[in-house]
Every structure is written in C-alpha cells, then in structure tokens.
Structure 1
Amino acid sequence: MIFDSLDVSYGEMWGSYRGMAHPDPMSRALAARKHAAGMDYAVLLSARERPLALVEYWPRRMWRVYLFDDRSWCMQMIDLKPHHTGMLLAHRNTRWQFSTEQEHSSGQWDVQETTTVLADRMVEVRSEFAGPRGAPTQPLHARAPGRSSSDPEHVPVRLLSAPVEDFLCPVPEFGDWQVFAPFLAQQGHEPATTVVLRDVSVDEGSGPLRATEIEQLFTPGECDTPDGPAVVEPVDAGLLRITSGQLAVSDPGWISDPRTVAVPPGEFPVTLSLLRTTHGARVAAARVTFLDSPPREWEMALRPDEDLELLGEGQFYGVGVDTGTAAFMDATRTVIEEQLDEDLFIPLDSDSRFSVELPGTEPEPNLIAFRAGQGDGAYPVWIGRTDDGRVGCVVVDFQLHSADGGE
C-alpha cells in the first residue's frame, strides 16, 4: 500500500492481539498529558480504514511498535529503547509467519524470527518453528525466548555484523508520528514524499468519575438499580478506633500500600449500605463518619502522585480488592496472617455476616472489614467535606447502584 496520510487515534494500552480498534479510546489531549507524565498509552496509525501500526508508549521512555500487513494481520513487533540523547534503538524485532487466517487469529504461528541487536556491532537472528500440524502450540508472546515446540534445545541462531546506526530512529515528540513511518515499509507500505497526519481522536468527554448521589447510598428505602428494583438498608458495623490521625482504606489481605486520608483521632461509627434484591443482599457502600455535619462537597481520595488530569472519561483512582473484602483501619494497624482466614474471611463467608472487627487492645486501633459488593476489583473512595473543609466522612462505593461505573 502506498499512503500519503495517516489517521491517528489514541487509547489505553491494549496490544495488537486484541483487535484492530481501540477498546478504550481516549482524547488526544489526555494522551498528551499521559505522555508528559511518562504514563503509558497507545497510538493507532491507519490508512484507508486499515491499521498499519500500533505504537505503544511505555514508562521509562520505552516504545513498542506492532506492524500490520495488507490483510490487517499483525505480522511484526519491534521493541525500542533509549540509545543516546534523542535516539531510539530498535533492539528487538520479531516477525511471524502464518498459514491461515484461523491460525493468525489464534496466534499459532508457523515461524517466529527474532532479530536482536547485541553489543560490538553484532546482530543475532533466532528462528523458531512450530511443531507438526495438530501438535499443541502456544499463542503469540506466550513462549519463552529461545524455545520452540518442535525442538526446544536446538533453535537455529545466526550471528551477523551490522552497524548500530541501521537500527536507530529519532525519539518522537508527542504527535510526531512520522518518525515511525519508515517502519511501515517492512510490511510493504510505502510512504509518499509527504505524509499528512489526520487526528480522528475522540472528544475529551466528561472527565473522571464524579461523586453523584453518595448520600442516597445510605438513605433507607426502595431504589432502582441496573439489576432492577432493590431496597437500601443501612446497618451499623461498629466503632472504628483511629489513633494516628490517618485512616487507611485497603484490602485487609494486602495492606502494604493503603489509600489514606487525614482524619481526627478518636472512635467513629462505621455504616454499611446493604442493597437487598430478590437475589439476596450485598454491601453497596461503606462509610465511616467523623462529623455530624452533612458534606458540602465530595472529592476522590488521591495519593500524592495521582493526578485527575490523567484519567479518562468515567475513570478513577481507587482501592484495589483481591480477597473480595475491604476494610477501614488506622494507618498504623497491621494484620497477623493467621487472623485473616480464622478471624476475618471465614466469618464473612457466612450469608448472615457482612462485616467483622479485628479488635485491638485499647488504646490500640482496631480494624473493621466488610464484603466488597462486586467482589474483586477496584472501587472509588470518596471524601465528604463540610462547609469549613473538614473531613466529615469517607465512603467506599462498590458501584452497585449506578450503571455507569468507571475503571
């Protein structure tokens, strides 16, 4: 294909094997902010509605380029790393050969050839071959380097001499995607003398997830949910003792890096919002209340290195859950490993238990854990501030009420 223009779109990291369009598109402005912050994103370069290259920007100024042929098959992957000021080195170039479209779609290649730039102006070319037809093979990117399904100990390797300059390209400024146009020729796409970039990026959208109707999560009565009608039932989960002035919100099984909020020391009530439907009851939200005054505004609980400007539409920074359980605790509280199953997780396995306390000998802090309404995942933590800016309450929303949950 000869091309004189490239359509440019942006999205989250996704990899060539997940299709030919961004599953999570983002605006050009958001991608530019991520680039400036050193955060990952992806750029899709297309022509005549065909993908030609997917370019991924990785942290530490690394790049990866996937190349597509005229059939829109991903046939090549190039890894680039900083070489010296202003230049990138294509230090690894992997090509695949496929016999049929079905084999391509399943990632079952016939031949994989990897070219690696070594020191001393040497290049290693390693060829791997799939096993006999019908023999089990692994999909793309799953095999360990230097292994083949037919003869794992004897992979053909050639050493060639080549100047490193043959593998260099300039480091692109954001938007300077013509830098990658020469790579397209490796799949038979020929750039014209002048290549015009056309932005087909999505709009900025409404921005990060916003706190809406948080108070209604704890208002008893009937409500509508994406799963149909339900009843909200607030229940008392006990008093949380804070001694350090720092509330931590975390999965109790993984509290090495909790999300923290500065709060006053003392004992404060914890309330769960149960959402009852015909299928049973789940914890929709959990709240610890520090002041009787109602919140005037809500803000997302952020770590110092987190920036709302780097979030796409409906996205959020939240607490990660890997054990189906979240907890409120003092930031100095630790958990003895034996307590997790015996004193915490086993009680919460009961259909009648939605929260459990791990007590601390007074005046030591305790811990109150509760089921995460949707199980494992990530959930937003909201800080409710009063008219004078003080923290009135902290809420974990398990997003059972809203149909437009973020990421």
Structure 2
Amino acid sequence: MIFDSLDVTYGEMWGSYRGMTHPDPMSRALAARKHAAGMDYAVLLSARERPLALVEHWPRRMWRVYLFDDRSWRMQMIDLKPHSTGMLLAQRNTRWQFSTEQEYLSGKWDVQETTTVSADGQVEVKSEFARPRGASTEPLHARTSGPSNTPVRRFAAPVESFLCPVPEFGDWQVFAPLLAQQGHESATTVVLSDVSVDEGSGPLRATGVEQLFSPGACDTPDGPAAVELVDVGMLRITSGQLVVSDPAWIGETSRTIAVPPGEFPVTLSLLRTTRWTGVAAARVTFLDIAPSEWDMALRPDEDLGLLGEGQFYGVGVDTGTVSFMDATRTVTEDQLDEDLFIPLDSQFSVELPGTQPEPNLIAFRAGQGDGTYPVWIGRTDDGQIGCVVVDFQLHSADGGE
C-alpha cells in the first residue's frame, strides 16, 4: 500500500487484541497528559480504514510498534529502547508467518523470526519453526511451545541502521519508515489526521453512594434485589491513619486516609437476590452527618487528569478480601489463613482483635472477588471526613442499573 495520510487514534494499551480499531479509545488530550506523565497509552496509525501500525508508549521511555500487512494481520512486533545517541534502538524485531486466518487469530505461527540488536550493533537472528502437521501427536495449541529447530545467525552491522528518532507527542511520522517492512510505502509528504474522540464525562463519579446504604428493594441487572445493612463491629484507629487494603497485600494499591483517632462503626451493605448474596459496599463512619460531597481516595502520585471516562484509582484485591485497619496494624501469614480466610468462607466479615489500646482489623468479602474497587471519602460541608466507603460495584452507585 502507498499512503500519503495516516488517521491517528489513541487508546489504552492494546496488548494481544487483534481487532481493527482501538477496543478502548481515548481523547488526544488524555493521551497527551499520559505522555507527559510517562504513563502508557497506544497510538493506532491507519490508512483507508485499515490498521498499518500500532504504537505503544511504555513507561521508562520504551516503545513497542506492531506492524500490519495488507490483510490487516499483525505480522511484526518491534521493541525500541533509548540508545546512548539520544535515539531509539530497535532492540528486538519479531516477525511471524501464519498458514491460515484461523491460525493467525489464535496466534499459532508457523515461523517466528526474532532479530536482536545490541547497543554496539551486534545482531542475532533466530528462526523458530513449528513442528509440521502429523509429526507429533501434540495438539495444535502446543506447537508454539516446542520448536523443532532454532537456526541462529550472528553478525555485526552499523547500529545506525537500527535507530530512529524519539518522537515528541503527535510526531508519529518518525515511525512511517518502519511501515515499509510490511510493504507500506509512504509518499514524500505524509499528513496526520487525528480522529476525534470525545473527552467524555471524565473519571468515575461517586453519585448515589448513599443509595448503597439505603435498605430495601432495588433493581439490578440480575433482576429484583434487596439491600440489607449489617453492623460488623467497631474499628479502632490509634495512629490517625486508616488503611483500606487487601490484608494479604498491604502496599502499592492500598488506600491510606488521614482520619481522627478513636473507635468507629463499620457497616456492610449486603445485596440479596433470589440466587445469591454479596457484599455490595463497606463503610466506616466517623461523623453522624450526611456527606455533602465525595472524593476519590488517591495516593500522592495519582492524578485524576490521567483517567479516562468512567475510570478510577482504587484498592487492589487479590484474595477476594478487603479490610479496614489502622496504619500500624500488622497481619501475620498464620493469621491470614486461620483467622481470616477460613472464617470468611462461611461469613461476610471477620474481626482480628487487638489488645486494647492496640488497633484491631475488620475484613470482609469483596463483592465481585479479585479486582480493583473505588474508595470514596464522604466529606461534610466544612470539609471534615464523615465516612469512607468501598464500592464493590455489584449494582451501580449512580442510580442506574
């Protein structure tokens, strides 16, 4: 294909997705903010509604470029890293060959050729071949795990042949020469055209959190349900720092919030349907005053301006469990197994007591199991923290289904 213009769209990292358009598009403005912050995003370069290249911006100034052929098959992957010259080095270039479209869609290559280049121009080319049909009783899905032979060539080449400029945001013409590797030749001048994507309504908002704690009938995507509130104990805070975390993974995705010291009630919102019952939300209440506004609980390095429509920063869950605890509270591995996870198999919450005046810990099931969930801070008119809520998103907190 000869092209003189490229349509540019932005989105989240594409990964192994093999479609024709971004599965999760974002506005140019949001992508620019992510670029400035050193965060990941992706750029799709298309011509005549056919993808030619997908460019992924990775943290630490790394880039990955996927190249597509005339069939819109993703046939090549190039990893670029910063080089001492101030340019990008195509450190690894992987090409694939596929027999049929079905095998392409399932990633079952016949040949995989990987070219690796060192910073001083030492080149290694490795070719891997899938076993021929009939040569083994292994199922087709195992073909990529056991190549029958792996020829390797090594030689030296001018490193300049593997360098390209580091693009400023929007300067995607620097990747146009790479398209020639899949037979796409650029005209003398290439015009870039941004495909407009609405900025949208922005990050997830905490509209309707109060409804999660309004007992009675409600509607869900699974049909009629009922909200039931359960008091599960008093949380003792001694340090003035509340931690919301998976009790087995206190750290990177935990939320830490400055709160007054004391003992405060913890309430679970249970959602009961005809088929199941789950924890829809959990709340620790510091003031018996209805919040007038809600803030997302953020870590110091998190910026709401880097979130797309409906996105949020939240507490990460890997054991199906979340807990409220004081920042000084610790949990041993024996306590996790014996005192938390086993009891939670048959009940919705459990308390790990602390010898007074030491802080305790209250843990509860995460309504949808493992994942990431928003944590909301409810504030009063004068800015005080009235409560902290974890929404497990079993039913919408904005009043919709």
TM exceeding 0.5? yes
CA RMSD of aligned residues (A): 1.9
Matched, 1:156 2:156: no
Name the CA distance, whole Å, in 1 between partners of 2:166 and 2:257. 40
Name the CA distance, whole Å, in 1 between partners of 2:342 and 2:313. 29
In structure 2, the residue corresponding to 1:248 is in which secondary structure?
strand
Do the aligned residues in 1 keep the contact of 2:297 with 2:377 (CA within 8 Å)?
yes
Assess, with a 3 A threshold, how the Cα gap between structure 1 residues 72 and 403 changes in structure 2: closer, same or farther: farther
Map 1:347-358; keep pairs closer than 5 Å: 347-350=343-346, 353-358=347-352
In structure 2, the residue corresponding to 1:182 is in which secondary structure?
helix
Match of 2:215 among 209, 217, 220: 220
Deviation (angstroms), 1:266: 0.5
Aligned to 1:122: 122
Name the CA distance, whole Å, in 2 between partners of 1:316 and 1:70. 38
Assess, with a 3 A threshold, how the Cα gap between structure 1 residues 34 and 123 changes in structure 2: closer, same or farther: same
Count, aligned residues: 396
Map 1:196-211; keep pairs closer than 5 Å: 196-211=191-206
Map 1:299-318; keep pairs closer than 5 Å: 299-318=295-314
Name the CA distance, whole Å, in 2 between partners of 1:162 and 1:348. 61
Name the CA distance, whole Å, in 1 between partners of 2:141 and 2:38. 30
Deviates more, 1:395-404 or 1:226-235: 395-404
Name the CA distance, whole Å, in 1 between partners of 2:353 and 2:31. 46
Deviation (angstroms), 1:49: 0.9
Deviates more, 1:104-113 or 1:359-368: 104-113
Name the CA distance, whole Å, in 1 between partners of 2:241 and 2:355. 18
Deviation (angstroms), 1:173: 0.4
Name the CA distance, whole Å, in 1 between partners of 2:94 and 2:329. 49
Matched, 1:396 2:390: yes
In structure 1, the residue corresponding to 2:3 is in which secondary structure?
strand
- Which whole-Å deviations, capped at 9, do the CAs of 1:269-296 have from their partners, x for residues lacking one? 0011111111132111100000112111
AA partner of residue 99 (structure 2): S
Matched, 1:370 2:370: no
- Which whole-Å deviations, capped at 9, do the CAs of 1:329-348 have from their partners, x for residues lacking one? 00111111111121111111
In structure 1, the residue corresponding to 2:60 is in which secondary structure?
helix
Name the CA distance, whole Å, in 1 between partners of 2:342 and 2:113. 51
In structure 2, the residue corresponding to 1:39 is in which secondary structure?
coil
Aligned to 1:56: 56
Deviation (angstroms), 1:175: 0.5
Deviation (angstroms), 1:297: 0.6
Deviates more, 1:38-47 or 1:18-27: 18-27
Matched, 1:247 2:242: yes
Aligned to 1:88: 88
Matched, 1:34 2:29: no
In structure 1, the residue corresponding to 2:250 is in which secondary structure?
strand
AA partner of residue 331 (structure 2): V
Give aligned-pair identity as a percent.
84
Deviation (angstroms), 1:15: 2.2
AA partner of residue 276 (structure 1): R
Assess, with a 3 A threshold, how the Cα gap between structure 1 residues 48 and 189 changes in structure 2: closer, same or farther: same
Matched, 1:108 2:103: no
AA partner of residue 109 (structure 1): W
Aligned to 1:66: 66
- Which whole-Å deviations, capped at 9, do the CAs of 1:87-135 have from their partners, x for residues lacking one? 1111111111122212211111111111111254321111111112154
In structure 1, the residue corresponding to 2:341 is in which secondary structure?
helix
Provide TM-score, normalisation by structure 2: 0.95
Aligned to 2:178: 183
Map 1:229-248; keep pairs closer than 5 Å: 229-248=224-243
Name the CA distance, whole Å, in 1 between partners of 2:174 and 2:120. 26
Name segments (4+ residues, structure 1) moved above 3 Å. 134-140
AA partner of residue 267 (structure 1): E
AA partner of residue 393 (structure 2): Q
Do the aligned residues in 2 keep the contact of 1:16 with 1:66 (CA within 8 Å)?
no
Deviation (angstroms), 1:16: 4.8
Name the CA distance, whole Å, in 2 between partners of 1:290 and 1:159. 67
Assess, with a 3 A threshold, how the Cα gap between structure 1 residues 34 and 372 changes in structure 2: closer, same or farther: same
Do the aligned residues in 1 keep the contact of 2:18 with 2:74 (CA within 8 Å)?
no
Matched, 1:260 2:256: yes
Do the aligned residues in 2 keep the contact of 1:63 with 1:80 (CA within 8 Å)?
yes
Do the aligned residues in 2 keep the contact of 1:259 with 1:302 (CA within 8 Å)?
yes
Structure 1 runs not aligned, ≥5 long: none
Matched, 1:328 2:324: yes
